[in-house]
Structures are given as C-alpha cells and as structure tokens.
C-alpha cells in the first residue's frame, strides 16, 4: 500500500505545528508533543510551534503568519475540529485556503472509523493549500494526531512515496499566481 522508492532522495520539508486550545500549555500539550516528535522522527524540520487559543481570529492570524513565511512548507494544527461552540479551526482555515484537499478529511475519517467507529463523524479534520503552503487540521487528541500523521501525512510528505506524494507537487502549488 505504501511504497517507498529507496533509489529516490528524501527531501525534508519545513513544518510548523500549532495546538489549538484554551487549556493546553507547553507542559501538558501531549498531542502537540506527539506531532512534533513524529515530524522530527521522519526527518523533517520543525520550524515553528505555537499554542493558539480557540478563537477564529487568533487562528487565522497565526495561519497567515506562517503562510507568509518563506521557510514554512506545511502547517499542521491539532485541536478545534469538533462540533462544539469553541471548535472554530475549520472556519479559520476557510478564511485562508485557496484550495481544499477533500480527500484528506475523508481519508482521516476512514482511518479513524476503524478505531472509534461512528464517533469519527464528529471530526471536521481537513486539508488544503494557501499561497503554496499545505495546511492540515487534525483533531486535538493524541490518538487522532497519531492516526493523521502515521496513516496519511508521514507518507504524503515523503518525497520517495509512490505512486505520488505532496512534496513533488510543491514547486507547482503557486502556478495560478504566476498567470
């Protein structure tokens, strides 16, 4: 299912990680820690990390800062993807995305269904592209972070993954802006 072309060169990507929460701190951010460990363990560069409160304006501001940063290729958030009143990460993403990657959310929920059943329908995990930067929103649990990274992002952010991967598309993400 996941095939790595061992003859191809691994290209590390620069990743920023944000935990969206009103209650998490650096001391108890287990999902952010799990994601940061996985990013580094896969050979990528963790460029920035933040904890952002559950506020659409604050999330949007952080996303826009990282999208504008030339040294950040991918932004991954954890938290705020549920259906309660404080869960506004997808709304903030909607303010900045140029394109959505519908398959990311669908695939995340498929993988999650195998573990938590129909409760996965409460997740609004999503992916997309903004000004040449990939953005992915994962739920806030450590298990969800592991599912999203281990089951999807680990492979799609590996330049050696075949038959295709997101890294090989990076040089073409801003084609529409050149016209």
Kindly state whether residue 1 falls inside one of the protein's structural domains. Answer: no
Beta bridge partners of 49: 17
Kindly state whether residue 178 falls inside one of the protein's structural domains. Answer: no
pLDDT of 134 strictly over 70: yes
Kindly state whether residue 119 falls inside one of the protein's structural domains. Answer: yes
Kindly state whether residue 56 falls inside one of the protein's structural domains. Answer: yes
For strands 161-162 and 14-20, give the pairing.
unpaired
Helix (H) or strand (E) holding 48: strand 45-52
Look at residue 1 in the predicted model and tell me its pLDDT: 66
Q: Which residue has the higher pLDDT, 174 or 95?
A: 95
Kindly state whether residue 93 falls inside one of the protein's structural domains. Answer: yes
Q: What is the CATH number of the domain that holds 60?
A: 3.40.980.10
Look at residue 174 in the predicted model and tell me its pLDDT: 82
Kindly state whether residue 179 falls inside one of the protein's structural domains. Answer: no
Look at residue 121 in the predicted model and tell me its pLDDT: 94
Q: What is the pTM of this model?
A: 0.95
Q: Any residues with CB less than 8 A from the CB of 149 and at least 6 apart, and which?
A: 34, 35, 38, 39, 76, 138
Kindly state whether residue 90 falls inside one of the protein's structural domains. Answer: yes
Calculate mean pLDDT across residues 63-77: 98
Sheet holding 45-52, edge to edge: 45-52, 14-20, 74-78, 133-138, 126-130, 99-100
| Closest among 31, 27, 86 to 58, alpha carbons compared | 86
| Closest among 137, 144, 97 to 116, alpha carbons compared | 144
pLDDT in tens, 79-121: 999 999 999 999 999 999 999 999 999 999 999 999 999 999 9
Look at residue 31 in the predicted model and tell me its pLDDT: 97
Q: How many domains does the chain have?
A: 1
pLDDT in tens, 4-58: 999 999 999 999 999 999 999 899 999 999 999 999 999 999 999 999 999 999 9
Q: State which residues form the domain around 105.
A: 7-172
Calculate mean pLDDT across residues 148-160: 97
Look at residue 179 in the predicted model and tell me its pLDDT: 56
For strands 14-20 and 45-52, give the pairing.
parallel
């Amino acid at each position: 299912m996941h095939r790595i072309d061992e003859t191809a060169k691994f290209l590390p990507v620069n990743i920023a990680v944000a935990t969206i929460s009103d209650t998490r701190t650096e001391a108890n951010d287990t999902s952010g820690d799990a994601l940061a460990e996985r990013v580094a363990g896969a050979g990528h560069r963790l460029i920035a990390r933040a904890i952002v409160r559950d506020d659409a304006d604050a999330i949007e501001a952080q996303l826009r800062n990282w999208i504008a940063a030339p040294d950040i290729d991918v932004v991954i958030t954890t938290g705020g993807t549920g259906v309660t009143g404080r869960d506004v990460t997808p709304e903030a993403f909607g303010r900045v995305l140029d394109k959505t990657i519908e398959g990311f959310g669908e695939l995340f929920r498929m993988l999650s269904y195998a573990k938590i059943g129909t409760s996965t329908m409460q997740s609004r995990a999503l992916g997309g592209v903004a000004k040449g930067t990939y953005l992915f929103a994962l739920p806030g649990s450590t298990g969800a972070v592991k599912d999203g990274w281990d089951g999807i992002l680990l492979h799609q952010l590996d330049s050696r993954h075949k038959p295709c991967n997101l890294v090989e598309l990076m040089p073409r993400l801003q084609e529409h802006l050149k016209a």
